[in-house]
Amino acid sequence: MSAPIAITASKLTRFYGNRAALDEVSFEIRAGETLVVFGANGAGKSTLLRILATLIRQHDGSLTVLGEQLPKDGWAVRGRVGLIGHESLVYRDLTARENLRFIARIHNMPLDDVDPMLERVELDSRADEPVRNFSKGMMQRLSTARALLPQPELLLLDEPRANLDPGAAMLLEPFIGAARHRTRVIVTHDIDYGLEQADIALGLKHGRAEWIEPADHVGADDARRLYK
């Protein structure tokens, strides 16, 4: 029996002013699959992630995420989606522990989950420092902990390995890597990493889907052409 559909996007369109940042993009992924999105800067990758995260609405087309129609039932998806992006989405003047305790409260999670999560991302020794003192790599680890604490069913990852040294990338791999029950949408410029992670690959150019294929049908050269 195949896994249920996790995301169905049909002719998804989003404008910024008169410019279509996303132009009739369609795809479908099943639970546990990974969609990797390639494309040059401004191709619409981050816009797509923000629509999936319910942070912005599509202007046209239909979208179902985790069985709920967006944007109408966005409230039912929030809390089931974890977003790790360019911004850490934590409060700079709070400590790492205070940030995660706040996240636990607004996601109705037990506060007891916070300390084990800090240990898993190896921030327990710095947990009581304001995060404004953290390096970019530490911020990325805290951001990962922030996104994963509510145990999301769908992970949206925008350049998840940016700012991470090889050790930190290995540390976070079990959290953000492929897993049977984890559906992921990854935006990356790292073609080798992306193709290695992908079940389905989507190439975006100027907001339009150049191709959407099973990852084993896509070569690195296909992805590189998007950047020319």
Q: How far is the CB of 158 from another protein (least distance, A)?
A: 12
Which residue type sits at 177?
A: G
Looking at residues 158 to 217 of the shown chain, list those that interact with another protein (rule: CB under 8 A).
Answer: none
Q: Which is nearer to another protein, 135 or 216 (CB)?
A: 135
Least spacing, CB of residue 78 vs another protein, in Å: 5
Distance CA 102, CA 114 (A): 10
- x/- mask, another protein, residues 80-99, rule CB under 8 A, reads xx-x---xxxxxxxx---xx
Q: For the segment 106-145, give every residue that binds another protein (CB under 8 A).
A: 106-108, 130
Question: Which CB atom, from 159 or from 191, has the smaller least distance to another protein?
Answer: 159
Site string for another protein, 23-62 (x = CB under 8 A): --------x---------------------xxxxx-----
Q: How many residues bind another protein (CB under 8 A)?
A: 40
**What's the order of all strands across the beta sheet hosting 183-187?**
81-84, 154-158, 183-187, 34-38, 200-205, 208-214
Three-state DSSP at 209 gives strand
Give the DSSP letter string of 131-177. GGGS-HHHHHHHHHHHHHTT--SEEEEESTTTT--HHHHHHHHHHHS
Which is it for strands 60-65 and 81-84: parallel, antiparallel or unpaired? unpaired
| Residue 221: CB minimum distance to another protein, A | 35
Size of the chain in residues: 228
Two tokens at 125?
């020794």
Judging by DSSP bridges, how do beta strands 208-214 and 200-205 pair with one another?
antiparallel
- Given the complex with another protein, which of 107 and 120 has the nearer CB atom? 107
What is the C-alpha to C-alpha distance for residues 92 and 67, in angstroms, rounded to an integer?
35
Site residues for another protein, 139-168, by CB under 8 A, read 146, 150, 153
Residue 113 or 222: the one with the smaller Cβ distance to another protein is 113
Residues that bind another protein (CB under 8 A): 4-6, 31, 53-57, 66-68, 71, 75-76, 78-81, 83, 87-94, 98-99, 102-103, 105-108, 130, 146, 150, 153
